[in-house]
Each structure stands twice: as structure tokens, then as C-alpha cells.
Amino acid sequence: MTYKILTDTDTQIKYVSYTLDSVEYKLAPINDGGVIKHLTESQALEQATKVKDWNSKSASRKLSQIKSLRLERLIETDWYSNSDVTMPDNVKTWRQTLRDLPANHTNETAYDALLARDSDGKLTNSVWSKP
């Protein structure tokens, strides 16, 4: 573990560089009653540990978001399964593709591709488009 106080050359604001398990975390200063202060070593350790924990659960958070988006789309087309409606084959195939998402996309890179958005904030992966 290494703890260093560094200064941003553009803003002249001090920040802390804290290395934990060979990963460097650059930690912003804190506002203490209107006074900007850098983190102490113990505060930096605590903050770096929180950031490390947050980062380690990134894939889990993305998968949860994918499952939520998938559920929304499935709910929107559940009415097709009413007994008096014939579900078109393309809708059946699309719904099956949605149900298969977690099994067919198992790493964070795939999750990023599924969650990609355009400049308007719309999902860009074709799997989300209704047939």
C-alpha cells in the first residue's frame, strides 16, 4: 500500500494517490466545512477499499440492469400469450432471445455491448428492438 499526496497541475488541488493490491486509486479531496482537504492515509485506505469493492461488483450490476431491461420487454409483449391471440413466430423468437440473454452473454464486455446507448440515450443493441 502506498499513500501519496499529489497536486493537479491544472487546478492546483491536492488529491491522494493510494495503491491497494497493485491498483492505484486517485482520490479527490473532501470538503470539510468549506475547507478543501486531502484525505488522510486512513481515510484513503477506507475510500480505496470502497472503490475496489464497487468496481469488483461492476459485472453483477450490469447483469442486473440487463435482466431488468429484459423483463420490461417481456412484460410489454406478454399480451401475445393470451389464449385468444396467436403469437407471431418472430415475436416468439425475439422473446426466446431475451430469455437467453444471461446464458449467451457471460462477461462484462458482452454486458457493455448490450447496454450501449446512442447520443440520445437509446439502447443500440438490436436485441432490444421489438420485431
Tell me which residue has cell 438490436. Answer: 126
Q: What proportions of the chain, in percent to the nearest 5, are helix, strand and coil?
A: 50, 20, 30
Please tell me the pTM assigned to this model.
Answer: 0.69
Rounded to the nearest 10°, the torsion over CA 27, 28, 32, 38 is: 60
Lowest mean pLDDT among 50-54, 80-84, 113-117: 80-84
Q: Give pLDDT tens digits for 9-26.
A: 776 667 788 888 888 888
